[in-house]
């Protein structure tokens, strides 16, 4: 009889860690297609949001647009007892910095921080872009509605703030409007620098760029698939000797496809599969589309995890185009082409990923691995304050996803009996009392 409580405990912990969090379903349901529609319309109706466009008018240009975005965050904050810290972050970019900066310009980002209750200096960030462009990247006066590129990402960040501000989270969540994207990723650079200077501990950046088009230029219509771009490894290391040492370690121990941005991509993938099984997340193992860029890159450049979330099928006749009709084709990034049920889904993907990460304890540090010429793999990590336990993950070396796991409690090292180190990749995540998990950490030291 005296074993019954122990058995009960084991069963209980098994149950509580295979369950999903009902709050996450509420968050998905709360994302409003209607509000996204209204906000994309409002943003498109500023005529142009080109980075170099007018800043004085209250109805046209990027100045009006960013003031409106800030006012939205301010209103959201009023509704949650001032739960958001809202401000402009700006940097002067001088004429001639590149060919697309044809005059001095203040690149202004809009920042809204929902402060974490337990880890105020840890940040999960959702970004969209404020600015738009037409065919000529220096044309700052022509109509440039930028409805899909990227009013959708911007509206998504505002809507995520509306939904998540109804809750409290352990880590901070940042809703971010970045500018200067089309001119050379200037807003992201400024914000990444700001985060570094202020010693932000960034869990990850979810950069949303074009999350509203379901009809590809190739004719494919798909309202379920979306792409998650992540670079293989992320580092801010510049010392050639250290870089060589890191490359050598990857050669012998692995890690070529296991950088911090890749782990973040896998987290988005898993969270979507768990809570939104109707969606088809597609991880793409590259920084961005072939030869093209986005605002997650400046964060990667300084060593932060960051990924791009976007539609699976792009339509180039509706991207960076002067509004016109040619050979029966209506060119231009206009409001009518945006699919709002899809935009709502992708906004929800962001919201649930941020809710999960901001509810989870910090990821374990100093994850070590051993088991060379042994029958079992051994993992070891630093204790994480606030973690109920840890999940050791492993996968076939050819698998993109963490397919196997083992939950452990009250230990900071563990041997996986009979799991041969040579045949798998391994990682460790922290698990909170509430069941939410951190991103998986790939081992960075070897246990001899």
Under the rule (CB under 5 A), what is the footprint of Zn ion?
149
User: C-beta of 56: minimal distance to Zn ion in Å?
Assistant: 25
User: C-beta of 129: minimal distance to Zn ion in Å?
Assistant: 7
Coil vs helix vs strand at 444: coil
User: C-beta of 208: minimal distance to Zn ion in Å?
Assistant: 12
Residues found in the chain: 448
Pick 147 or 429: Cβ nearer Zn ion = 147
User: C-beta of 221: minimal distance to Zn ion in Å?
Assistant: 22
User: C-beta of 428: minimal distance to Zn ion in Å?
Assistant: 38
For residue 194, the surrounding DSSP H or E stretch is helix 186-197
Pick 91 or 131: Cβ nearer Zn ion = 131
Phi, psi of 192 (to 5 degrees): -65, -40
Give, in degrees to the nearest 5, the angle at Cα 238 between 233 and 240. Answer: 100
Contacts of 55 (CB under 8 A, 6+ apart): 61, 62, 63, 106
Pick 184 or 259: Cβ nearer Zn ion = 184
User: C-beta of 320: minimal distance to Zn ion in Å?
Assistant: 6
The whole-angstrom separation of Cα 19 and Cα 399 is 24
User: C-beta of 281: minimal distance to Zn ion in Å?
Assistant: 22
Residue 237, number of CB atoms within 10 A of its CB: 11
Are 282 and 193 spatial neighbours (Cβ–Cβ below 8 Å)? no
Pick 176 or 351: Cβ nearer Zn ion = 176
The two three-digit tokens of residue 217, written as one number? 């230029």
User: Which residue in 180, 181, 133, 150 sits closest to 322, CA to CA?
Assistant: 133
Coil vs helix vs strand at 42: helix
Phi, psi of 353 (to 5 degrees): -65, -45
User: C-beta of 155: minimal distance to Zn ion in Å?
Assistant: 15
Pick 149 or 258: Cβ nearer Zn ion = 149
The whole-angstrom separation of Cα 422 and Cα 276 is 34
What DSSP designation does 374 have?
S
Pick 32 or 142: Cβ nearer Zn ion = 142
The two three-digit tokens of residue 35, written as one number? 């509000």
Are 226 and 311 spatial neighbours (Cβ–Cβ below 8 Å)? yes
Pick 252 or 290: Cβ nearer Zn ion = 290
Pick 149 or 170: Cβ nearer Zn ion = 149
The whole-angstrom separation of Cα 311 and Cα 227 is 6
Pick 149 or 288: Cβ nearer Zn ion = 149
Give, in degrees to the nearest 5, the angle at Cα 126 between 121 and 127. Answer: 115
User: C-beta of 133: minimal distance to Zn ion in Å?
Assistant: 6
Radius of gyration over every alpha carbon of the chain, rounded to an integer in angstroms: 23
Pick 216 or 232: Cβ nearer Zn ion = 216
Q: Write the DSSP string, 338-380.
A: --HHHHHHHHHHHHHHHHHHHHSPPPPSS-EEE-TTSSSEEEE
The whole-angstrom separation of Cα 42 and Cα 64 is 11
The two three-digit tokens of residue 349, written as one number? 């993907």
User: C-beta of 326: minimal distance to Zn ion in Å?
Assistant: 20
- Residue whose C-beta lies closest to Zn ion: 149
Pick 185 or 379: Cβ nearer Zn ion = 185
Are 378 and 413 spatial neighbours (Cβ–Cβ below 8 Å)? yes
User: Which residue in 361, 363, 368, 360 sits closest to 414, CA to CA?
Assistant: 368
User: C-beta of 182: minimal distance to Zn ion in Å?
Assistant: 5
The two three-digit tokens of residue 283, written as one number? 């991880």
User: Which residue in 62, 66, 86 sits closest to 76, CA to CA?
Assistant: 86
Pick 189 or 356: Cβ nearer Zn ion = 189
User: C-beta of 216: minimal distance to Zn ion in Å?
Assistant: 16
The two three-digit tokens of residue 82, written as one number? 């001032």
């Amino acid at each position: 009889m005296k074993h019954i409580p122990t058995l009960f405990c084991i069963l209980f912990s098994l149950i509580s860690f295979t369950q999903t969090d009902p709050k996450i379903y509420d968050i998905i349901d709360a994302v409003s297609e209607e509000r996204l529609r209204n906000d994309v319309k409002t943003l498109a109706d500023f005529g142009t949001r080109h980075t170099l466009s007018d800043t004085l008018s209250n109805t046209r240009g990027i100045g009006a647009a960013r003031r409106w975005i800030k006012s939205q965050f301010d209103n959201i904050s009023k509704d949650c007892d001032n739960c958001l810290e809202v401000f402009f972050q700006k940097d002067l970019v001088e004429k001639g910095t590149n060919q697309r900066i044809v005059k001095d310009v203040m690149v202004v980002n809009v920042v809204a921080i929902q402060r974490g209750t337990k880890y105020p200096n840890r940040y999960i960030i959702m970004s969209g872009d404020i600015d738009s462009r037409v065919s000529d990247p220096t044309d700052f006066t022509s109509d440039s509605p930028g409805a899909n590129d990227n009013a959708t990402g911007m509206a998504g960040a505002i809507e995520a703030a509306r939904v998540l501000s109804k809750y409290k989270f352990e880590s901070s969540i940042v809703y971010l409007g970045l500018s200067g994207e089309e001119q050379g990723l200037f807003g992201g650079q400024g914000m990444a620098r700001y985060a570094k200077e202020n010693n932000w501990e960034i869990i990850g950046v979810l950069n949303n760029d074009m999350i509203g088009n379901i009809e590809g230029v190739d004719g494919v219509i798909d309202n379920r698939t979306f792409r998650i771009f992540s670079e293989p490894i992320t580092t801010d290391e510049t010392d050639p000797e250290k870089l060589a040492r890191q490359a050598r370690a990857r050669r012998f121990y692995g890690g070529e496809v296991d950088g911090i941005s890749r782990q973040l991509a896998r987290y988005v993938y898993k969270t979507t599969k768990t809570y939104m099984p109707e969606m088809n997340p597609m991880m793409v193992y590259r920084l961005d589309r072939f030869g093209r860029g986005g605002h997650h890159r400046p964060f990667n450049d300084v060593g932060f995890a960051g990924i791009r979330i976007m539609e699976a099928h792009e339509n180039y006749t509706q991207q960076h185009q002067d509004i016109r009709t040619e050979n029966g084709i209506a060119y231009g990034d206009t409001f009518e082409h945006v699919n709002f049920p899809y935009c709502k889904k992708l906004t929800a993907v962001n919201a649930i990923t941020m809710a999960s990460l901001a509810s989870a304890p910090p990821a374990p540090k100093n994850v070590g691995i051993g088991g060379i010429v042994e029958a079992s793999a051994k993992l070891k990590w630093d204790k994480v304050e606030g973690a109920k336990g840890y999940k050791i993950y492993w996968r076939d070396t050819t698998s993109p996803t963490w397919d196997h796991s083992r939950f452990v409690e009250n230990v900071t090292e563990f041997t996986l009996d009979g799991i041969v180190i040579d045949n798998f990749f391994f990682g460790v995540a922290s698990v909170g009392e509430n069941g939410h998990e951190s991103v998986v950490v790939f081992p960075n030291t070897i246990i001899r």
